[in-house]
């Protein structure tokens, strides 16, 4: 494979369309391999700024998730990715192809920095990702039936790229006595939990409890959203994010709320959330705000572009 098909356009390298059908899957495969190659070159040659690198990672993780959801063979993916990484590193930091692609990425990134919100669809749900320091949720997935949100919350206005895994449930006087998030324990089961699914409405199911381990929520606070609705927000430990990102994008997690002892109904509330492309969403939400000079340059580039016909 000739990796100076490194002629990658960052607009495509940052947000691939959803794959459907063999031709579309082949297109996503090419984008995945191109992103893998230039990411390897960046690791060897330190080509990009942190923002450019996060944008590239977001696109790489997204294309990986799309391929897996299209039933692409993970072993084949790993094999091809290893080949293009080795080829990209062998080209060397001064190879014209590497320099050309790096320049294209830097140029396109200046336009991309104006994007503050993206959605990352999974099989049956969506992660919303926001770069705005004014959004408490950097990454979030809403279960509409329960109105419960799981995601990554910003803890400090001074560090908008720093997140804590949290869940927000509608406010109730009798708060749950325990909040747990069950997910596959990679030490108990290394392979992804992917029971066979049938039908257009089939949804990922969480791993069996025998191969799962819960994350227990600790700190809780009350939160009022921008329309005046109140929620209880439960926070998980820092290790929870790492555990989720080790899972396969096709897997699911299960939130369990243990009822307050004073409630008549003692049945635990269980809500499933898809893993999806949470890695891609987090990388996007972490992209730092560019300096004013960079925003002005991007605006000037847009103004100078010829109008379409």
Residue whose token pair is 């089961």: 189
Weakest mean pLDDT among 18-22, 123-127, 148-152: 18-22
Do 165 and 279 lie in a common domain?
A: yes
Residue 270 lies in a domain: yes
Do 295 and 279 lie in a common domain?
A: no
Q: What is the DSSP string of 72-119?
A: --HHHHHHHHHHHHHHHHHH-TT-HHHHHHHHHHHHHHHHHTT--EEE
Domain span including residue 17: 10-113+288-304
Do 105 and 69 lie in a common domain?
A: yes
Mean predicted lDDT score pLDDT of the chain? 86
- Judge contact between 227 and 237, C-beta under 8 A: no
Residue 1 lies in a domain: no
pLDDT at 178 over 80: yes
pLDDT in tens, 110-140: 888 889 999 999 889 999 999 999 899 999 9
Do 101 and 212 lie in a common domain?
A: no
Under the banding of pLDDT at 50, 70 and 90, the label for residue 293 is low
Fill in the DSSP letter of residue 305: S
And the tokens for 75?
């072993």
Q: Determine if residue 45 is left, alpha or beta; phi over 0 gives left, psi from -120 to 50 gives alpha, anything else beta.
A: alpha
How many domains are there within the chain?
A: 2
Residue 161 lies in a domain: yes
pLDDT at 13 over 70: no
Under the banding of pLDDT at 50, 70 and 90, the label for residue 42 is very high
Do 300 and 265 lie in a common domain?
A: no
CATH number at residue 203: 2.60.40
Do 136 and 212 lie in a common domain?
A: yes
Do 294 and 270 lie in a common domain?
A: no
Do 131 and 248 lie in a common domain?
A: yes
Residue whose token pair is 């992103």: 35
Do 18 and 70 lie in a common domain?
A: yes
Q: Label residues 19-50 b or e (16+ Cβ within 10 Å = b).
A: beeeeebebbbbbbbbbbbbbbbbebbebbee
Q: By 3-state DSSP, what share of the chain in percent is helix, strand and coil, each rounded to 5?
A: 35, 20, 40
Residue 125 lies in a domain: yes
- Judge contact between 211 and 184, C-beta under 8 A: yes
> What percent of the chain is predicted at pLDDT more than 90?
69
Do 183 and 247 lie in a common domain?
A: yes
Residue 4 lies in a domain: no
- Judge contact between 271 and 253, C-beta under 8 A: no
Residue 243 lies in a domain: yes
Mean pLDDT of 215-244: 94
Do 259 and 292 lie in a common domain?
A: no
Residue 3 lies in a domain: no
- Judge contact between 170 and 229, C-beta under 8 A: yes
Do 136 and 277 lie in a common domain?
A: yes
Position 306 scores a pLDDT of: 46
Residue 130 lies in a domain: yes
């Amino acid at each position: 494979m000739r990796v100076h098909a490194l002629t990658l356009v960052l607009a495509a390298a940052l947000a691939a369309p959803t794959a459907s059908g063999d031709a579309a899957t082949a297109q996503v495969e090419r984008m995945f391999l191109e992103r893998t190659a230039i990411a390897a070159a960046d690791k060897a040659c330190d080509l990009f700024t942190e923002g450019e690198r996060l944008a590239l990672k977001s696109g790489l993780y997204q294309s990986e998730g799309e391929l897996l959801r299209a039933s692409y063979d993970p072993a084949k993916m790993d094999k091809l990715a290893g080949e293009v990484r080795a080829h990209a590193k062998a080209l060397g930091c001064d190879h014209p192809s590497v320099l050309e692609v790096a320049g294209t990425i830097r140029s396109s990134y200046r336009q991309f920095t104006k994007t503050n919100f993206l959605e990352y669809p999974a099989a049956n749900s969506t992660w919303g990702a926001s770069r705005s320091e004014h959004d408490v949720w950097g990454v979030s997935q809403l279960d509409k039936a329960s109105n419960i949100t799981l995601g990554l919350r910003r803890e400090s206005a001074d560090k908008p790229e720093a997140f804590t895994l949290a869940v927000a449930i509608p406010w109730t006087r009798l708060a749950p006595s325990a909040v747990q998030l069950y997910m596959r324990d990679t030490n108990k089961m290394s392979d992804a939990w992917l029971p066979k699914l049938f039908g257009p409405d089939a949804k990922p199911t969480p791993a069996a409890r025998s191969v799962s381990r819960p994350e227990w929520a600790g700190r809780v606070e009350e939160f009022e959203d921008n329309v005046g609705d109140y929620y209880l927000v439960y926070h998980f430990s820092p290790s929870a994010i790492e555990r989720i990102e080790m899972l396969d994008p096709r897997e699911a997690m299960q939130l369990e709320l243990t009822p307050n002892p004073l409630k008549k109904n003692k049945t635990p509330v269980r809500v499933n959330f898809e893993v999806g492309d949470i890695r891609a969403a987090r990388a996007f939400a972490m992209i730092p705000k560019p300096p004013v000079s960079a925003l002005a340059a991007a605006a000037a580039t847009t103004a100078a572009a010829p109008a379409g016909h």
